[in-house]
Structure 1
């Protein structure tokens, strides 16, 4: 199948996902309003349609990230950018395999965390109790964005963050501290430890779409007081309050195992949405390979649903980096 046909199929499925969850389909690009990064017209660091491992130095630590360019990447056109953060013990490359994010019409970067502490000494992200002490992953994310924007043609108003588990929790921290550079977030099965939300005063309302299984045995949907984990509905409602949303509309059952909650009338066009998977495990909805323990729904594809939501949100021009 040609790159053009793959792109067409992805966009068609994405539009359908938007209608399913109550969204309004939007064009994949808005080049007329794009704010281009300094990397436009710079030769790409790898062939379009490929994924490759890259490195950069951040705070004296050699960090790595998996970078995917869409098949029709053109450095004369500003592209949206998705940052995808892996779960504890996983890798950027591993997340790329099950998430299907690299099928989207966007540049996707999959950063790798630093080995943390505790059980197994696995890669982790700031904000979790097992993260590597002293490592500032927020600063690393800023350095990574600088690197990507210098070497690629990025629409700086359309930078998004998603992730799984510990990586999803980290997107909450980014929304709190980097709202001037991250347009919207899409956590999946998020581990929202207290540090990911302490003193959270974002510089602007941040659109959020959250996915979580009600049967998640790793990060319980109802919370875990012993680990400081909130009930997921409470975490989502807290973002609706931060965004000063006017009301929560009636929940919709869009599939037998999918219930969607929405808060609307938020400041500056923000929106908060929660996708609950009935009986869902610690998994990525729609994954075709292992993404965590428990039931994986196939009634929705998380990458399509989150893209339909994210791509409709942009940073205000006044807050562009």
Structure 2
């Protein structure tokens, strides 16, 4: 695990291309330039095309898992891409799921506990695990979501957009079905993408990660974005009630319920503690939203800052986060169908 924490090597510091409203000006300029000629947008956003090679993160090195490196605004960046056999055997566009790690963590660690690969094998979607950059003030890996990451100079929205453009050019990506899910800071980044890259990210899911106050204040979502949130009620790292740098979860959910024009009262269902571990809870769905962009909330009793799973060897619960996340996200296309 020690070696995994060091992969991939991150060097230098990024350059903040733009933030908040200025970002949209930059986007319009980039979009106009791409319309003026046939230059690949990924070539505009990224300093270099990703260079990929087989990675042994799943055991024996295979072509199913590739480690990719690139340069973005002078900063060395990287990601893993998982290509299931079912994708290779089908000649149809495939959904693309981003899985974003938490603060201080890494792409390979996120791959090890989330459980998305099995679902990708079953359903044939492409799976990308981006690697966050180093936050200079702490020396830890992170995603720039404003708020407590204000010292960051990395434009992670641009990073994800560049990967989307590269993947869409090099693989059969269903551009109407691009999703983002994340743990903790990665969940917060998924909200950030919904706010600032909603034209390309269809739906998002967060496990334990709220919106920061900056993301909340500056959010410019598209018409409607399906949102799923999973949270433990005794999370000591990201309290359900929020704190000075993180929004209360109820406020986050209320924001998206209103943004999507959903019913203000959700339909609540009990999650029964079936295995006696004390981790039951409630599942609430907010329905009748614009373009059927539902908002789903899972609140789990006696669960801390953890990714819920139903399998031996990891923290158990009465829900499996990966299955719930994919089951939710896969219902949606970018036009809301």
Asked if TM exceeds 0.5, the reply is: yes
Choose from 168, 186, 206 the match for 2:225.
206
Whether the 8 Å CA contact 2:96–2:177 is kept in 1: the answer is yes
Query: How far apart, CA to CA, are the structure 2 residues paired with 1:103 and 1:60?
Result: 35
Query: How far apart, CA to CA, are the structure 2 residues paired with 1:248 and 1:146?
Result: 38
Choose from 245, 249, 255 the match for 2:266.
249
TM-score of the aligned structures, taking structure 2 as reference length: 0.74
Q: Secondary structure at the match of 1:133?
A: coil
TM-score of the aligned structures, taking structure 1 as reference length: 0.78
Q: Match of 1:168?
A: 187
Shift of 1:289: 8.2
**1:56-88 CA deviation, whole Å, 9 max, x = no partner?**
222222210011111222262211100111101
Shift of 1:285: 0.7
Query: How far apart, CA to CA, are the structure 2 residues paired with 1:126 and 1:290?
Result: 32
Query: How far apart, CA to CA, are the structure 2 residues paired with 1:139 and 1:220?
Result: 29
The 1:317–1:187 alpha-carbon spacing in structure 2 relative to 1, beyond 3 Å, is closer
Q: Match of 1:123?
A: 141
Whether the 8 Å CA contact 2:210–2:249 is kept in 1: the answer is no
- Which deviates more from structure 2 when the two are superposed, residues 188-197 or residues 171-180? 188-197
Shift of 1:118: 3.5
Shift of 1:146: 0.7
Q: Match of 2:284?
A: 261
Shift of 1:290: 8.5
- Larger RCO (CA within 8 A; separation ≥ 6): 1
Whether the 8 Å CA contact 1:127–1:194 is kept in 2: the answer is no
Choose from 92, 97, 106 the match for 1:82.
97
Query: How far apart, CA to CA, are the structure 1 residues paired with 2:333 and 2:76?
Result: 31
Q: Unpaired segments of 5 or more residues in structure 2?
A: 1-51, 55-60, 274-279
Whether the 8 Å CA contact 2:157–2:193 is kept in 1: the answer is yes
Q: Match of 1:58?
A: 72
Cα RMSD (Å) of the superposition?
Answer: 2.4
Choose from 165, 177, 182 the match for 2:196.
177
Shift of 1:211: 0.4
Query: How far apart, CA to CA, are the structure 1 residues paired with 2:264 and 2:284?
Result: 11
Aligned length: 269
Whether the 8 Å CA contact 1:125–1:131 is kept in 2: the answer is no
Shift of 1:49: 7.1
The 1:72–1:261 alpha-carbon spacing in structure 2 relative to 1, beyond 3 Å, is same
Q: Unpaired segments of 5 or more residues in structure 1?
A: 1-43
Query: How far apart, CA to CA, are the structure 1 residues paired with 2:100 and 2:303?
Result: 20
Q: Match of 2:117?
A: 102
Q: Secondary structure at the match of 2:85?
A: coil
**1:242-275 CA deviation, whole Å, 9 max, x = no partner?**
1111342331103231310111111111100001
Q: Match of 1:286?
A: 309
Give 1 or 2 for the bigger CA radius of gyration.
Answer: 2
Shift of 1:234: 1.8
Shift of 1:231: 1.5
Whether the 8 Å CA contact 1:51–1:68 is kept in 2: the answer is yes
**1:162-207 CA deviation, whole Å, 9 max, x = no partner?**
0010110011110011111011001000042212222212122000
The 1:175–1:168 alpha-carbon spacing in structure 2 relative to 1, beyond 3 Å, is same
Q: Match of 1:235?
A: 252
Query: How far apart, CA to CA, are the structure 1 residues paired with 2:149 and 2:221?
Result: 25
